[in-house]
Amino acid sequence: MKLKNTLGVVISSLVAATSLNALAQGQGAVEVEAFGKHYFTDSSRDVQRDGELYGAGVSYFLTDDVSLGLSYGEYHDLTSKDPVGAGGHKNIKGSLTSLDAAYHFGQPGVGLRPYVSAGAAHQSIGQANRGGRDRSTFANIGTGVKYYFTENFFAKASVDGMYNIDADEGEWMAGVGVGLNFGGGAQQQVAQVEPTPEPAPAPIVDNEPEPEPELVRVELDVKFDFDKARVREESYSDIKNLADFMQQYPQTSTTVEGHTDSVGTDQYNQRLSERRAQAVREVLVNQYGVESQRVDSVGYGESRPVADNNTEEGRQVNRRVEAEVEAQVR
């Protein structure tokens, strides 16, 4: 694939991403980037001077911190060390395809996120004085830092060490890049409140007064670990009780409300509360069979604490998802 075609695909992806309702960073997010790197070659390659690698890549976040990325780049400005014929120094062409996993430090969101990476690469490069192409397999390690100017736009700087397994040689690169992050987190669902139909009047028998309807209610309070949106195993029985009640009274519906403590930014806590509410909703719908149109979810971030956020005990109480269902029975 030619470099201009590769960059065209990435640029098209960047434009498309900006036109979407881009979601937050985190698990499930996709990053696309364009980069330029300075290539410091091993002396045994008969290269007169180091060159540049220009390319693009795409990464998928397996968790909030771990991503798996594929990149492609083409070399420029590489020339042979010795003159080749009357034409002078030979221009050397080549490409590098890499697959790397990266671990990011810090919290997703606006600001600085250092990272370390490791992976493998395949290099196809012209040979200076022998003709043909040299194809080599590399083991990569690297480190760098990304700065997120917004939730979706970032710049990065990196240093990569490259070990040529076939030739037993070491090389390295240093570079910069820019990119977009989109697609992570859970989209907030707008709660829809359906009007409760008025109960039909019961016929009067023998002039005896009709018993007053009794209001019954089931409440749900699910706690979460710090900075997590995974439902704990011990909470499933409480969620099942709510699902059983809704199955018993099919006219009911509910809104699942997510909350966080005050640690972190308002933006990050808002998205975390939405993910927690969505996680409980998915258990109700997908595992216990409540119809999806009867369960909405909404996140309130850190705006509705029920305990003191200045203590660990209070913050644990505030990391919660709440829901309630009411029904009238006679």
Question: Strand, helix or coil at 285?
Answer: helix
Give whichever of 19-33, 122-136, 158-172, 177-191 has the largest mean pLDDT.
158-172
The edge-to-edge listing of strands for the beta sheet with 91-92 is: 47-49, 78-80, 91-92
Cα-Cα end-to-end distance for the chain: 72
Confidence of residue 51 (pLDDT cuts 50, 70, 90): confident
Whole-prediction pTM: 0.49
Contact in structure between 323 and 219 (CB atoms under 8 Å):
yes
Other beta carbons within 10 angstroms of residue 130's beta carbon come to 9
What integer is the mean pLDDT of 260-274?
Answer: 93
Round the average pLDDT of the chain to a whole number and report it: 81
Strand partners, 52: 38, 76
Query: What pLDDT, on the 0 to 100 scale, is given for residue 223?
Result: 92
Domains and CATH numbers, the chain: 3-182 (2.40.160.20), 214-329 (3.30.1330.60)
Give the Cα separation of 249 and 163 in Å (integer).
65
Strand partners, 67: 61, 102
Q: 217-249 in b/e burial notation, b at 16+ Cβ within 10 A? A: ebebebbbeebebebeeebeebbeebbebbeee
What integer is the mean pLDDT of 45-69?
Answer: 83
Rounded to 5°, the CA angle 230-236-237 comes to 160
What integer is the mean pLDDT of 3-29?
Answer: 53
Over the stretch 164-208, which tens digit does the pLDDT of each residue have?
Answer: 898 888 888 999 999 998 876 544 444 455 666 777 776 665 566
Over the stretch 281-290, which tens digit does the pLDDT of each residue have?
Answer: 999 999 999 9
Q: What is the DSSP string of 11-30?
A: HHHHHHHHHS---BSSTT-E
